[in-house]
Amino acid sequence: MSRPPTPWQRSIPHWPQRRAGYRLRPPHAGRTRIAASDSHLHLCSVRLISHRPCFLFVMFIATNFFDAGFWDRVHGGSTHLPIALALTSALLDSVGSIVPAGKFRENFRFSGYFTLLLATLGAVPAVISGLMLTNWDAVGSGVTLLHHYFVWPSFGLLIALVVWRSIVRHRTSRIGFSIYLVAILTTAVLISVAGFWGGEMVLNH
């Protein structure tokens, strides 16, 4: 003999049929589903239309902000930072190699390392914006080719030197730091010449 349904079970619609194993389908279920999907599509279209002016405004700002003129401004503004900081880093390390050993020398060398790190970080947006201007052509021709002759060696040296300084820190020998000093001076010269040819590109343009 089956147990009588509980009050909670009696509150469920069609509980005896559900208990017997039948799944009742409400009348016009297919049409109800289609109507619900149509109303959902209508709601989505209404939302899209309501937000369309904002969407078009954002797209207008994006396409006009990130145009060639934007990358030209970014490149022109960001190139001065690595050039100035690389020269400053070479100067500080040169002075740090001349002054007597002690706290004074360590301060100069730390300042040289810190400015080298900033120069390397500042070179990243300069390189990316330059590639955007040349449509990712890393070689180019004419004045652009001359510019890239000095850009890529100086950029590679900046990364290599800052990694070496970060690993070695103060545990370098006198000969090792002398080799580093020659490398940072070479980097400063290369990045300065790259900046010169970059200015020639702007003047010729």
Render pLDDT for 108-122 as a digit per residue (tens, 0 to 9). 999 999 999 999 999
- Compute the chain's Rg from CA coordinates: 34
pLDDT value of position 53: 54
Report the distance separating Cα 184 and Cα 201, nearest Å.
26
Answer for the pair 87, 122: CB distance below 8 angstroms, yes or no: no
Report the distance separating Cα 197 and Cα 54, nearest Å.
43
pTM over 0.85: no
Say whether pLDDT at 2 is over 90: no
Could you report how far apart the first and last alpha carbons of the chain are, in Å? Answer: 97
pLDDT value of position 176: 86
